[in-house]
Structure 1
Amino acid sequence: MAGINNSASGAKPSPSLPEVSSSRCLTLGITATHDLKVTNFSLLDGMGVGRYVTSAPFSAGGCDWFISFYPDGDYTMFRTGHLTSFTSVYLNFVGGPPTGTRVMFVFSLLDDKGCQVSTKRGKRRKKAKEPNMPRERHMTTFDYPGQSWGSSMFFEKSVLADVLESCNGCFTIRCDMCIVRLKIEDNPIQIPDSVLHQDLSRMLKDKEGTDVTFSVGDRFFHAHRYILAARSMVFKAQLFGAMKEAEDAQCIKVEDMEPQAFEGLLHYIYTDALPDDHNTADRITATQHLLVAADRYGLDRLRAMCEARLSGWIDVQSVATILALAEQHQCVELRNHCLRFLGWPDILRAVMKTDGFKHLVASYPSVVSDVLETVVSARIAQ
């Protein structure tokens, strides 16, 4: 009997169905608003191009920020030929867990009654919450701490003068922000936000499973050696490498460090964020000590976050000590911030009376020549 040859039967194979998959890009917008209230503007007017005042640091979208306001405009005024006819305002990125943070933000100016002021002379005002007011919107990405974006021509000073006449020299700069978060989802199931930093923070606080103890001043801190080693090469060498402490040691003694600084160090290691102590009376000193601790344990991101925070707190009483710290630990951007502040008219005269300046001169005499050069250059620019 002849066999059946299937290949010659003329039957066509059924086409296979295409594989189908899907995903979606979920865009989240976290909104926030911060108001910088400016009083007695006449005392700031004429301080010089490139000189600025700042808001207090604030948090939005899991990041830290501050606003810098230039009463006589920033240095881009020289390139545009407007000199001091405009004020400038910028949003400054201090730091936070996300990298490449994308933000849409807009600055507006409010009078003492909370009404938004138009950029054109004589145009009526509207309440700040009313729509359709023309404002310059910015959409940009903040890639690293210390970066700033904003408007070099925020408000024409002649228009601002009209506002000040009826506002007793006071006004408010409002920054409305929308921090953009992108999530790529391959299915419609909603995934909760990560709480890893909260879990680790609670584990540190409850001392659950701790296996190493540090003696710092008059306090003891319990931690987890593998977490410390994963976050800091210095801790890794101390706990597992050539620098390893004796196995029978009761605890590791940390010399020349404030307990509060070590506590802040552990907080960052477990949460990847700065401790929430920037409103305390000794916030500048505490942040300076934390920067030193970050440098000592090779935590570069924490160090940069401390630099950015300190740059927003520079004033007459603190600038000399912050400059000395920046010089000691090679914090270039923080050093530049201090020098720019010292270039303000009559600022150096007041700073020279502080104990911090005397310490700066005694410890880092070479910095004094840089300070004088900055002051001379600032006066020439005026």
Structure 2
Amino acid sequence: MGVGKFVSSSTFSVGSYGWDIRIYPDGWEEEDKAAYMSVFLCFCSGATTAVKVRYTFSLLGKDGKITTNLEGGTHTFRSVGTIRGWPRFTDKCELKELLLRDDDCFTIRCVLTVIKEPRTEDLSTTEVSVPQSDLHTHFANMLKDGLGVDVTFSVGGQLFTAHRCVLAARSSVFKAELFGPMKESTMKCIKIDDMEPSVFEALLHFIYTDSLPSDLDQDQNVELQHLLVAADRYGLERLKAMCQGKLCQKIDVQTVATTLALAEQHHAAQLKNACLRYLSSQEVLRAVKETDGFKHLTASCPWIMDILEKVAPPSGV
């Protein structure tokens, strides 16, 4: 790059002030004749008065081991634009050896502390630290403990208990089933067909906690697809969107066809668009046509061929 020329990190915030790190690969001063790499801390923004700091710079290899570690002590930055650091941070010969060993990579780490003057504070105006909400934990425990449950579901031969009011509050479909004119309140056990027990369990977990269960096997597209179907069935739009997001990340040659059919059947527009974007290449489309999923797609959604011809027209068209 030449002596005096630098590359800069993005600006980061410490103590409500803006800072960046500037690296001069060929040194800061002409007299060093590019024998050293220079590293400086620059005060970028945030104050009209002086700022006192303590900082340390470290040079790390790809393995995370520190090869150079220099402590700057305590310094005062008088104004925006001030820089402090080391013109001779590391010898260029040592740096070249590090780059050859670590695939042309190294890391500069800066530990920066802004030192502010102590001040007194009126305790009557002190902000109270409020704990994060743990409502979801209480609801999860309520489902797990079974205290006060008043409805039972039979899914694939397994029984699940729940609270009518919670289900009705979260799902308009459950509300109609449990409290509407066609309510099933008199039934001791409500049977649910066409759903795996593990999927219904995940559905209940979401209803009570507003999150996906941590043990859900998200590496398996089938599990997520079935959960999306269940979310659509019970009008849980947030859960449906979460499933769409996970499935969008798992689109490949083997899964795109069945995922597209699922998205079309359950009006999952974002997932459908992601599938069509993936199929927009003729090369990808040819590979997908060889899968069993594509045969299912053309059988269940024959009109899809018209769309595919538009998003991935044959060569020369």
The interval holding the TM-score normalised by the smaller chain is 0.5 to 0.7
**Which residue of 268, 289, 296 corresponds with 2:206?**
268
Q: What is the aligned partner in structure 2 of residue 202 from structure 1?
A: 141
Residue 356 of structure 1 corresponds to 293
Letter of the structure 2 residue corresponding to residue 295 of structure 1: D
Q: 1:280/1:337 Cα in 2 relative to 1: closer, same or farther (>3 Å)?
A: closer
Asked if 1:346 is matched to 2:283, the reply is yes
Q: Distance in 1 between matches of 2:276 and 2:226?
A: 21
Q: 2: CA distance between counterparts of 1:305 and 1:280?
A: 12
Aligned residues: 207
Among candidates 221, 232, 235, match of residue 295 of structure 1: 232
Pair 1:372–1:242, CA change in 2 (3 A): same
Q: Give 1:375 shift.
A: 1.3
Quote how far apart the aligned CAs of 1:346 are.
1.6
Q: Distance in 1 between matches of 2:293 and 2:313?
A: 22
1:369 deviation in Å? 1.5
Instruction: For residue 295 of structure 1, report the CA deviation from its aligned partner.
Output: 0.7
Offset from partner CA, 1:333-358 (integer Å, 9 cap, x none): 11110011112352111111111100
2:180 to 241, 251, 275: 241
- Computing the radius of gyration from Cα coordinates, the structure with the larger value is 2
Question: Which runs of no fewer than 5 residues in structure 2 stay unpaired?
Answer: 1-60, 65-98, 112-124
Cα separation, 1, equivalents of 2:216 and 2:244: 13
* TM-score, structure 2 as length reference: 0.60
Does the aligned pair in 2 maintain the 1:114–1:127 contact within 8 Å?
no
Q: Which residue of 1 aligns with 2:160?
A: 221
8 A contact 1:114–1:128 mirrored in 2: no
Distance 1:113 1:129 in 2: 11
Which residue in 1 is equivalent to 2:78? none
For 2:108 and 2:301, how far apart are their aligned partners in 1?
51
CA distance in 1, matches of 2:283, 2:215: 31
Matched, 1:255 2:193: yes
Aligned mates of 2:149, 2:264 — CA distance in 1: 37
Which runs of 5 or more residues in structure 1 are unaligned? 1-111, 116-123, 133-185
Partner of 1:312: 249
Distance 1:265 1:129, change over 3 A: farther
Aligned to 1:332: 269
- For 1:286, the equivalent position in structure 2 comes to 223
Distance in 1 of aligned mates of 2:215 and 2:310: 35
Letter in 1 for 2:247: L
Alpha-carbon shift at residue 302 of structure 1 (Å) = 0.9
Structure 1 CA distance, aligned partners of 2:172 and 2:213? 21
Q: RMSD over aligned Cα, in angstroms?
A: 2.7
User: What CA deviation, in whole Å up to 9, does each residue of 1:153-183 have, x standing for no partner?
Assistant: xxxxxxxxxxxxxxxxxxxxxxxxxxxxxxx
